[in-house]
Structure 1
Amino acid sequence: MALVGKQFPNVTIDAMSEMGDNLRINILEEATKNQSKVLLFWYPKDFTFVCPTELHAFQEALAEFEKRNTKVIGASCDTNEVHFAWLNTPKDNGGIEGVTYPILADTHRHLSSILGILDQEIDYNEETGEETFSGGNVTFRATYLIDETGKIFHESVNDMPLGRNVAEYLRLIDAYTHVQKHGEVCPANWEEGKDAMNADRKSTAEYLSKH
C-alpha cells in the first residue's frame, strides 16, 4: 500500500547514536517539532555486505542533506547493542566506524510491519492449522522522505542485492523544496537550476518545445 501523501506513522522506536547513547526516536516528531525534512532509510542487517557501502555513502553526503534541512536516520531490525558493535568496527573490516547519524533498532518489527517492508511470508495450512514462515524477517532497502509536516513525499523499496543511489534523494529533496517555494512542478530529470513548469498544458508544451 502506497504511503506517499500520508502522515508518517506516529511510532517511537529505540535507536543508537554514534556515541553509544541509547535513544528513543519518533520520526514524525523529528520532522514536525524540528521543522525539518527527514530521510529514513532501512537496510536488512548489520555486518553484511551491501549495507555498509550504503551507510558510508549517506555519511559522505551528510553535509549536503544538512544544507537542505534534512535529517538522515538509518534503520534495521538489529538491536542497539549490535548497532553499537558495528559502529565500533573499522571501515576496512566491513564496519561503519565514522557514521554519525542515529540508527533505529526496530527489534520488535513494529514500525517495519506497519510500513509493510519486511521480507516475510506466512502460509497457513487449513487442514492442520499450521503456520509456516518463510523469508528472512528483515527489511528490504526501503527509503522514505518526510516533509516538515510529517507527510511522506517519496517512498521506494529495493530488493536486498540492490544498493541505493544517494544522489537521487538529494535531487528529490531539491525538487520537492522547489515545489514548496515556487509552486511549480518539476519535469523529468529536473535538477536544481533547471527550468520547472506551471501545472498547465501551455507550460508543458512550451517546455517540451525547448527541450
Structure 2
Amino acid sequence: MSLVGRKFPNITVDAISEMGDNLRINVLEEAVKNKKKVLLFWYPKDFTFVCPTELHAFQAALGEFKKRNTMVIGASCDTNEVHFAWLNTAKDNGGIEGVTYPLLADTTRNLSSALGILDVAVDFDEDYEDELLVGSNVTYRATYLVDEDGKIFHESVNDMPLGRNVNEYLRLVDAYTHVQTKGEVCPANWEEGKEAMSADRLSTAAYLSSN
C-alpha cells in the first residue's frame, strides 16, 4: 500500500554521524521541528556493490539539496558499528569515506517494516498450516521525500541491482516546492524554470497546444 499523502511513521531509530557519534533520529520530527524537507534513501547493505555508488552520488549532490532546504539521510539495517567501519573505508577500496550525512541503523527493522520495504517473501508451511516469512531481511532501494509537515510526497522502490538517479529527486523537490509556492501543477518532464499549469481543463489544453 502506498504511503504517499500520509504522515511519515513516528518512529525513532539509531543512527551515526560521519564522525562516529551515535544518534537517535526521528524523520518525522526532523521534518516538522526543523521545517525542512527530508530525503530518506534506503540501501540493502553496507560493504556491497551498487550501494557505495549511490551514497557517494547523494554526497556529491548534498549542496544542491541544502540549497533546497532538504536534509539527506541514508539508511540500512546494518549496525552503527558496521556503518562506522564503512565510513572509515577509502573510496578506492569500496568504502564511503567522505560521506557527511547521517546513516540510520534500523537493526530492529521497526521502521523498514512499517514502511513495507523489507526483502521478505511469504512462504507456506504445510506442516504448520501457516505463513512463514523468509528472505534476506534487508531493504530494497526505497526512497522517501517528506515535506515540512511530515507528509510523504514521493516514494519509490527499486530492486536490488538498480541504482537511483539522484537528479530525479532534485527535480521532484523543485516540482513540489513549485506546487507549494505557486499553487500550480507540474506537467510531465517539468524542470525548474519551465512552464507549469493551473489545475483546470483550459490550462491543460493551452499547455498541450504549445508543447
Both proteins in one fold, TM over 0.5? yes
Distance in 1 between residues matched to 2:188 and 2:139, nearest whole Å = 29
Q: What CA deviation, in whole Å up to 9, does each residue of 1:24-82 have, x standing for no partner?
A: 00000000000000000000000000000000000000000000000000000000000
Where does residue 53 of structure 1 map in the other structure? 53
Distance in 2 between residues matched to 1:113 and 1:74, nearest whole Å = 16
Report matched runs for 1:1-211 at 5 Å: 1-128=1-128, 132-211=132-211
Distance in 2 between residues matched to 1:157 and 1:72, nearest whole Å = 17
Q: Give the number of equivalent residue pairs.
A: 211
Deviation at 1:181, TM superposition (A): 0.2
Deviation at 1:126, TM superposition (A): 4.3
Cα 1:79–1:201, aligned 2, differ >3 Å: closer, same or farther?
same
Deviation at 1:131, TM superposition (A): 6.1
Q: What CA deviation, in whole Å up to 9, does each residue of 1:72-114 have, x standing for no partner?
A: 0000000000000000000000000000000000001000000
Distance in 2 between residues matched to 1:127 and 1:88, nearest whole Å = 47
Distance in 2 between residues matched to 1:10 and 1:133, nearest whole Å = 25
Letter of the 1:51 partner, please give it: C
Distance in 1 between residues matched to 2:135 and 2:110, nearest whole Å = 17
Deviation at 1:134, TM superposition (A): 2.7
> What is the TM-score with the length of structure 2 in the denominator?
0.98
Letter of the 2:156 partner, please give it: S
Distance in 1 between residues matched to 2:113 and 2:130, nearest whole Å = 22
> What is the TM-score with the length of structure 1 in the denominator?
0.98
Distance in 2 between residues matched to 1:24 and 1:16, nearest whole Å = 8
For residue 89 of structure 1, give the secondary structure of its aligned residue in structure 2.
coil
For residue 189 of structure 1, give the secondary structure of its aligned residue in structure 2.
coil
Deviation at 1:162, TM superposition (A): 0.1
Distance in 2 between residues matched to 1:208 and 1:191, nearest whole Å = 16
Deviation at 1:132, TM superposition (A): 4.7
Deviation at 1:141, TM superposition (A): 0.1
Deviation at 1:136, TM superposition (A): 1.2
Q: What CA deviation, in whole Å up to 9, does each residue of 1:110-144 have, x standing for no partner?
A: 00000000001232324335765432110000000
Q: More strand per residue: 1 or 2?
A: 2
The runs of 5 or more residues in structure 1 that have no matched partner are none
